[in-house]
């Protein structure tokens, strides 16, 4: 109990610190006092523009997407009973990437900032529909092994599509496509924050309500059934919610790897596998982690931005290996 409390407190503080640091640092550094004054609606007009129009939405977007990816990852790991599961395992990132790359290659992105996210979201939804369709066609019950296999195969098809489109494209298009696929929060504005929140927060609330059934699903579908869970309903609902959260995130910021895989494992190593604790703490952990990673991505080689997916892996891998090693030695 105390360990859970400590970790919750630590993650809440880490998230608050990450958002505050995200607001303070950048091309124009602000003091903490300035940042807080500006958040309270005072401060100079320039500070207000920097904080309210640029840095705050970017920090909040990082928190929403990071939290959503970690939550989706934890959910998929339980449903597929597979520690290697992560939000992109059902081909969602592949579908989104095809949508985005197509838009870039056809030069449609210039039509408006909403075109690329919309195309990526549509691509993600097509991927979800395809994978779910394959997994349910065989019979009435949805087989998670088939789902997993369908996801891998569909992802392979999408990467072939991407390779084909890119091979037909000009060098500039290839570069912007590759950068998009590595993920970035540079385009954050209030529109993208509201859009992501509209998908992520209700879906996250519903997933938290499924914590007990997910505990049961993680030990086996047959047992879950005998302990009163409506297995098929839980499976469909939880998969759909996790997929929607992922699709919304990918559409807005591109493919950011590693958060959805590593954060749930790290939380699990610290507080165990009870999803009533694991899910909310994964969300908090993912939110803090991605917001901090984005800060590093912006500042490390400023004014050049490093793709945030590079930072999540650079920081996440050693952190995870340390936790893993510690758990093995106890």
Partner 1 sequence: MRFGTEDLVVRYAGSARAALDGVSMSVPDGCLYAVLGPNGSGKSTLMKALLGVVRIRAGRALVDGRDVRTWTRGEVARAVGVVPQGEAIAFPLTARELVGMGRYPHLGALRGEGEGDRAAVAHALSACDVTDLAGRDVTTLSGGELQRVRIARALAQEPRALVLDEPTASLDIRHQMAILELLRASADSGMTVLVVTHGLDMAARFADRMLLLSRGSVAAEGAPAEVLRAEVLREVYRWPIAVREDPATGVPRVTPLRSGEATGA
Least distance in angstroms from the C-beta of 289 to partner 1: 20
Cis geometry, peptide bond prior to residue 303 (ω within 30 degrees of 0): yes
DSSP string, 124-164: HHHHHHHHHHHHHHSSSSPPHHHHHHHHHHHHHHHHHHHHH
Q: Which is nearer to partner 1, 278 or 293 (CB)?
A: 278
Q: Which residue has the tokens 């006092």?
A: 33
Binding site for partner 1 (CB under 8 A): 77-78, 81-83, 139, 209, 212, 215-216, 218-220, 222-223, 225-230, 268-269, 272-274
| Comparison of 107 and 202: residue with beta carbon closer to partner 1 | 202
Q: Which is nearer to partner 1, 149 or 269 (CB)?
A: 269
Cα atoms in the Cβ-side hemisphere of radius 13 Å centred on 317: 6
Please list the alpha-helical segments (H only) found in the chain: 2-24, 32-39, 45-48, 56-79, 92-105, 115-137, 144-167, 171-182, 190-209, 211-219, 221-226, 231-253, 259-271, 275-299, 308-329
Nearest to partner 1 of 133, 209 (CB atom): 209
Q: At its nearest, how many Å lie between partner 1 and the CB of residue 219? A: 5
Shortest gap between Cβ of 78 and partner 1 (angstroms)? 8
| Least distance in angstroms from the C-beta of 195 to partner 1 | 29
Minimum CB–partner distance for residue 17 and partner 1 (Å): 29
Q: Which is nearer to partner 1, 82 or 169 (CB)?
A: 82
- Residue with smaller CB distance to partner 1, 79 or 295: 79
CB atoms within 10 A of CB 125: 18
Task: Give least dist CB 72 to partner 1, A.
Answer: 16
Contact in structure between 67 and 288 (CB atoms under 8 Å): no
């Amino acid at each position: 109990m105390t360990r859970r409390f400590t970790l919750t407190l630590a993650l809440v503080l880490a998230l608050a610190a990450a958002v505050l640091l995200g607001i303070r640092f950048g091309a124009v550094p602000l003091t903490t006092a300035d940042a807080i004054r500006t958040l309270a609606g005072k401060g100079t007009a320039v500070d207000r523009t920097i904080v309210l129009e640029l840095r705050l939405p970017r920090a909040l977007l990082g928190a929403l997407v990071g939290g959503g990816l970690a939550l989706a990852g934890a959910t998929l790991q339980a449903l597929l009973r597979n520690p290697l599961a992560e939000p992109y395992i059902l081909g969602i990132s592949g579908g989104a990437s095809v949508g985005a790359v197509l838009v870039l290659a056809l030069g449609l992105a210039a039509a408006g900032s909403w075109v690329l996210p919309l195309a990526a979201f549509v691509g993600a939804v097509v991927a979800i529909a395809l994978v779910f369709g394959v997994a349910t066609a065989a019979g009435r019950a949805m087989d998670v092994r088939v789902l997993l296999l369908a996801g891998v195969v569909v992802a392979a098809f999408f990467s072939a599509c991407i390779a084909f489109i890119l091979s037909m494209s000009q060098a500039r298009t290839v570069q912007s496509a590759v950068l998009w696929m590595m993920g970035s929060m540079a385009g954050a504005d209030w529109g993208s924050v509201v859009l992501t929140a509209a998908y992520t927060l209700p879906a996250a609330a519903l997933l938290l309500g499924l914590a007990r059934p997910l505990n049961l699903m993680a030990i086996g579908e047959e047992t879950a059934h005998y302990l009163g869970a409506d297995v098929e309903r839980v499976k469909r609902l939880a998969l759909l919610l996790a997929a929607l959260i992922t699709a919304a995130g990918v559409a807005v910021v591109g493919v950011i790897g590693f958060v959805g895989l590593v954060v749930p494992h790290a939380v699990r190593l610290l507080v165990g596998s009870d999803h009533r604790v694991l899910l909310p703490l994964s969300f908090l952990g993912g939110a803090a982690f991605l917001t901090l990673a984005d800060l590093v991505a912006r500042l490390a080689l400023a004014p050049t931005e490093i793709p945030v997916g590079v930072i999540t892996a650079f920081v996440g891998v050693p952190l995870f290996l340390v936790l893993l090693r510690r758990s093995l030695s106890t």
